[in-house]
Structure 1
């Protein structure tokens, strides 16, 4: 597991322009990620997910988030996420550790 404090810094740098993290906060271009761990992709209430996300139907956990964040368009072809990915394994682990605190 990574460092959640560093993960929050990385999130603020790389993800905050498209995602929110507080419970009940509105979606942006991307969905609110509060409570993301354990949710099935493409099912976030009030967010219009792509058909590709709905069809992928995986549950978000450390492994699936790691695979997705490495190269989103490779893991879910057809995703609308324009982000190219997080190259460093350590950075992905830190981001995932931060996302795991959102509950």
Structure 2
């Protein structure tokens, strides 16, 4: 999952994800959990956010590949999760968003 365009990813994230999620390490949670540091983290494990049992029991580690699969179809990847968003079908858009998410850790 290499080669995504960070700037394109930022635009897509701001348009489609930022209503519910933040990447700012100092921000709290919104409707969805803060995604700062999500890559490498276990699903449903960030403190201070009330996750569904589906997330808590999923045992998913947020690798770039798992993030891509999840964004493609959240309810298929983690059935019975509470995320209302569905689906980012374009693999290039997913690659760009993940590149942006990863860039925010640097």
What TM-score bracket applies, with the shorter chain setting the length?
A: over 0.9
| Runs of 4+ residues over 6 Å off in structure 1 | none
- Is 2:29 the partner of 1:27? yes
- Is 2:4 the partner of 1:6? no
Question: How far has the Cα of 1:102 moved from its partner?
Answer: 2.3
Aligned to 1:37: 39
* Contact in 2 for aligned 1:36/1:102 (Cα 8 Å): no
* Contact in 2 for aligned 1:8/1:95 (Cα 8 Å): yes
Extract unaligned runs of 5+ from structure 2: none
Paired residue total:
103
Extract unaligned runs of 5+ from structure 1: none
TM-score, normalising length: structure 1? 0.97
Aligned to 1:98: 100
TM-score, normalising length: structure 2? 0.94
